[in-house]
A and B are shown apart, each in its own frame.
Chain A
């Protein structure tokens, strides 16, 4: 059977299984309320608008602000996808099918991630609509989508890869708790607090370094490194996506080793 057809079939069903979870939509609805309210209040502040020299900069900051919470939902809701195969005893059946482990993992990763990103994207588009409504600037919408693709998506795929892989070796509730701690510490913890943090480095999955280097977005609420060279943005993008790939390769190798051990 054609492997691309198998890949597409697997991806489609992983997408459908994830998108049908009411709890996923409930969570992002909660996010929409919190984030929407927060951004609207910022847009009402003239100092906030004055911080941005262009529509592109404003779009980049909005993309970043919306991304404070969404990846947390993405990471936590992806954490149970692989353990679920074991729990529902489908794994044994899947191991007998002609599709390779590589194809299965890839289709699970992409399908489940895209499904989880859908409510995150809808939330973001809602925020953009609110921003356009408040500022009257229609250009915010297309620029906002561009910023989302460049600033937010690399970090989302980075988070998704760890969330799919780590629960294979760590107890899922523990992973969720560690992820919560990591998300706060690695993205929102101020570098001036006296404790080391990933915030402001190229490993920040929230996308603040990419945001600052490509679009010149200012630091906001302790998030973001301030003026940053373009090379740092490229390095961050490459690092996040590269690590996502490496983690998935490591996962594949680990699962193959586990299967051989049995």
Chain B
């Protein structure tokens, strides 16, 4: 049954959801291959795609897909509860994004295009590789959790996606403020791209996981409110 169910859920998510992270990575890598093969720049750029592009793509997909269902009214009458269905879809998107990110990081590591935070440069294997995965994992978990909460609070596909992108750009623009002031560290998403020498990198990654957990709890509560799931924000049909 579970396999049949997973098959249907993947069908319902659709090809764009599966293709987007793959195309993001391949597209970006091709662009780099054409314009600049300097190892440092490629390493910095690909680490940026790992830390920024893939998590933002996953966040936008979650914000615009997971809690919108054409058959929502029927879904809400099922004994298999909708919050579990939505969670399953969410986990599938997250898992797929994680697989693409992990494979990308593995390739970058093997071909020496990695950019490591100063804090773990001297670590031994496999701990260095494993810790480096926090680069994409923490940002991804935070952004998908944020996307999920936005979609449940605002009830608008375009507005949720918009706010998530706006938040990501704000993080990119104001990175120096976020680096400088410790109060922003628990939500500073992209330190490897802008502050690779930060002494707080590892702490930041775990703080992000913590704040993501808070967002997940909020999302879980909102998913159990059927009236909210049936509603749309005004003008956001």
Contacts and interface: CB of A to CB of B under 8 A. Distances in A.
Contacts of A122: none
Given A173-B65, A195-B45, A31 B174 contact: no
A72 B166 contact: yes
B166 A76 contact: yes
Interface in A175-222: 176-177, 179-181, 183-184, 188, 193-196
A22 B233 contact: yes
Interface of B is mostly: helix
A151 B56 CA distance: 29
A144 B172 CA distance: 26
A77 B56 contact: no
Contact of A77 (B45, B162, B172): B162
A69 B170 CA distance: 8
B212 interface: no
B162 A73 contact: yes
Interface in A150-187: 171-174, 176-177, 179-181, 183-184
Interface stretch (B1-9, B150-158, B203-211): B150-158
A62 B83 CA distance: 46
Contacts of B41: 193-195
Contact of A38 (B20, B31, B174): B174
Contacts of B56: 177, 180-181
A165 B140 CA distance: 30
A77 B166 CA distance: 11
Contacts of A73: 162, 166
A196 B57 contact: no
B173 A188 contact: yes
Interface string B49-63: 000010011001101
Q: Which of A18, A38, A174 has the most CB of B within 10 A?
A: A174
A87 B68 CA distance: 13
A80 B158 contact: yes
A31 B20 contact: no
Contacts of B177: 38
Contacts of A180: 56, 60, 165, 168-169
Contacts of A17: 235
B162 A27 contact: yes
Contacts of A195: 31-32, 35-36, 41, 45
B38 interface: yes
B73 interface: no
Interface in A25-61: 26-27, 30-31, 34, 38
A107 to B, nearest CB: 17
A27 B234 contact: no
A171 B60 CA distance: 12
Contacts of A183: 169
B233 A23 contact: yes
A23 B157 CA distance: 11
A76 B234 contact: no
B38 A34 contact: no
A23 B237 contact: no
Contact of B57 (A21, A77, A177): A177
B25 interface: no
B64 A69 contact: no
A117 B175 CA distance: 27
Contact of B165 (A31, A171, A177, A194): A177
A196 B35 contact: yes
A21 B236 contact: yes
Interface in A59-77: 68-69, 72-73, 76-77
A176 B161 contact: yes
A174 B20 contact: yes
B36 A80 contact: no
A17 B53 CA distance: 32
B149 to A, nearest CB: 14
Contacts of B61: 173
A5 interface: no
Contacts of A174: 16, 20
A173 B157 contact: yes
Q: Which of A21, A73, A177 has the most CB of B within 10 A?
A: A177
A202 B38 CA distance: 27
Given A21-B159, A172-B158, A176-B64, 10 more contacts: A21-B235, A23-B158, A23-B163, A30-B166, A30-B170, A34-B173, A76-B165, A77-B162, A177-B56, A195-B32
17 contacts: A21-B159, A23-B162, A23-B236, A34-B170, A38-B174, A69-B166, A72-B166, A76-B166, A79-B158, A87-B237, A88-B237, A171-B16, A172-B158, A177-B60, A180-B168, A181-B53, A195-B45
